[in-house]
């Protein structure tokens, strides 16, 4: 069966942003210019260091009357410090938590579904509308909640978007907001209000900005979502379609890379037909399962001629790819079971040679300056202890999938 193609639309302006050092100033600038609405979704919201700049921009927007709505994941963000909770509440920043966690909740496989997408929209439907999508949390590049201060910045990307898909991103975020609001009303025994929210009309926005003919950017792009309803496989299929159509080159940078059978076979088939396949993967230990569970699948990839580069200067958090110099994706989705089977994710697919060239150049630079290319012979002779850890991590992951009833 042919895999669905993302619906690409022209007329976009898309800028590549690397790390919070570029992403935060762009978001803060957009929020400071907002006149109507600011919407933000993120897995982690941490006010340490530069993360406070985004928090302050939210406060400024809310204080001047801009509708300001934030959704964070209950596991990724946890409890916001009391000082910030009070400041947000006083300013009118509306704060919602997706799937709050507790020890008992984590024992239920249905509660393992997380909000992992990183989206922001400012003034959708009005002049100056802009959106952001990528893998960057509201988390300072030089700070990690588990490891503290980092010696080098986290390696990650996002995009700044103007054009038609801004409205698509906004609608997507408003739908989730309404559902969370309905749940909130039900918990407060406001049944009538919850029903009205769920049955409300399509999210409203301001009048569409006028576009002068011939003056709009020409980049083609699409928003590709992953959820647990109608969009369960769209991000994976976008990757599979691009890999299957590759003729010359595939470059993938992915933080938590544990590809399922279809993705592994697609990469092997591409390498065997002469496509140069380069993977830039996590080389610095972060989480046990994600770090070790990937390695048992390296053998078949290396055997097919796939190049694997491990990035070690800092944590690699990117979820991006470029194919044949014209196709690219930037987003929140890892190529692992959590992202592809359980989490809400959002990627932007771009068809544009200039954008793809910029991302490709940065990935090649990261490989050359910070990557260690894996030698097949060294991999084959790795120590027994390392193999044991790899297969233990893979076993844990497979048991978790078995509990959820998912196949991967």
Give the span between the Cα atoms of 248 and 339, in whole angstroms: 27
DSSP category for residue 348: E
Give the span between the Cα atoms of 106 and 102, in whole angstroms: 6
Spatial CA neighbour of 206 closest among 35, 33, 31, 69: 35
DSSP category for residue 340: I
The values of phi and psi at residue 257, to 5°, are: -110, 100
Angle at which helix 234-245 crosses helix 261-272, to 10 degrees, equals: 10
Spatial CA neighbour of 132 closest among 170, 77, 178, 75: 170
CA 89-91-97 angle, to 5 degrees, is 40
- What residue has token string 């799937």? 99
The two tokens of residue 63 are 């204080």
Q: What is the 3-state secondary structure (H, E, C) of 259-294?
A: CCHHHHHHHHHHHHCCCEEEEEEECCCCCHHHHHHC
Give the span between the Cα atoms of 123 and 130, in whole angstroms: 7
Q: How many CB atoms lie within 10 A of CB 358?
A: 16
Residues 45-82 as b/e (b if ≥16 CB within 10 A, e otherwise) read bbbbebbebbbebbbbbbeeebebbbbbbbbbbbebee
- Residues with a known catalytic role: 116, 118, 123, 317, 319, 324
H or E stretch covering 323 = strand 319-323
The two tokens of residue 365 are 């630079």
Contact (Cβ atoms closer than 8 angstroms) between residue 293 and residue 258: yes
Give the span between the Cα atoms of 227 and 67, in whole angstroms: 26
């Amino acid at each position: 069966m042919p895999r669905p193609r993302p619906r690409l639309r022209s007329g976009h302006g898309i800028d590549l942003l690397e790390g919070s050092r570029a992403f935060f100033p762009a978001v803060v600038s957009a929020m400071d210019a907002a006149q109507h609405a600011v919407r933000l979704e993120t897995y982690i919201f941490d006010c340490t260091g530069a993360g406070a700049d985004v928090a302050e921009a939210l406060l400024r927007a809310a204080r001047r009357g801009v509708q300001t709505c934030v959704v964070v994941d209950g596991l990724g963000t946890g409890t916001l410090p009391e000082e910030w909770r009070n400041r947000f509440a006083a300013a009118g920043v509306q704060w919602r938590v997706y799937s709050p966690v507790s020890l008992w909740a984590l024992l239920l496989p249905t509660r393992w579904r997380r909000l992992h997408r990183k989206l922001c929209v400012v003034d959708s439907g009005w002049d100056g509308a802009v959106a952001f999508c990528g893998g960057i949390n509201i988390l300072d590049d030089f700070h990690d909640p588990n490891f503290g201060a980092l010696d080098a910045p986290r390696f990650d990307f996002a995009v700044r978007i103007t054009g038609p898909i801004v409205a698509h991103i906004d609608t997507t975020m408003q739908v989730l907001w309404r559902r969370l609001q309905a749940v909130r009303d039900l918990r407060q025994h406001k049944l009538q209000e919850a029903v009205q929210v769920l049955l409300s009309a399509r999210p409203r926005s301001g009048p569409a900005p006028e576009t002068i003919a011939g003056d709009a950017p020409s980049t083609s792009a699409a928003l590709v979502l992953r959820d647990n309803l109608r969009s369960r496989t769209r991000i994976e299929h976008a990757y599979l379609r691009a890999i299957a159509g590759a003729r010359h080159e595939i470059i993938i940078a992915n933080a938590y890379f544990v590809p399922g059978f279809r993705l592994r076979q697609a990469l092997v088939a591409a390498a065997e037909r002469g496509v140069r396949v380069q993977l830039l993967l996590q080389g610095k230990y972060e989480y046990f399962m994600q770090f070790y569970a990937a390695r048992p699948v390296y053998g078949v990839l290396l055997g097919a001629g796939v190049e694997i580069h491990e990035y070690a200067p800092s944590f690699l958090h990117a979820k991006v790819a470029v194919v044949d110099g014209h196709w690219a994706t930037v987003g929140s989705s890892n190529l692992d079971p959590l992202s592809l089977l359980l989490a809400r994710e959002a990627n932007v697919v771009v068809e544009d040679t200039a954008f793809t060239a910029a991302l490709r150049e940065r990935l090649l630079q990261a490989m050359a300056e910070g990557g260690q290319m894996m030698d097949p012979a060294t991999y084959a002779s790795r120590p027994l202890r390392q193999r044991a850890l790899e297969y233990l991590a893979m076993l844990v992951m497979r048991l978790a999938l078995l509990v959820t009833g998912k196949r991967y």
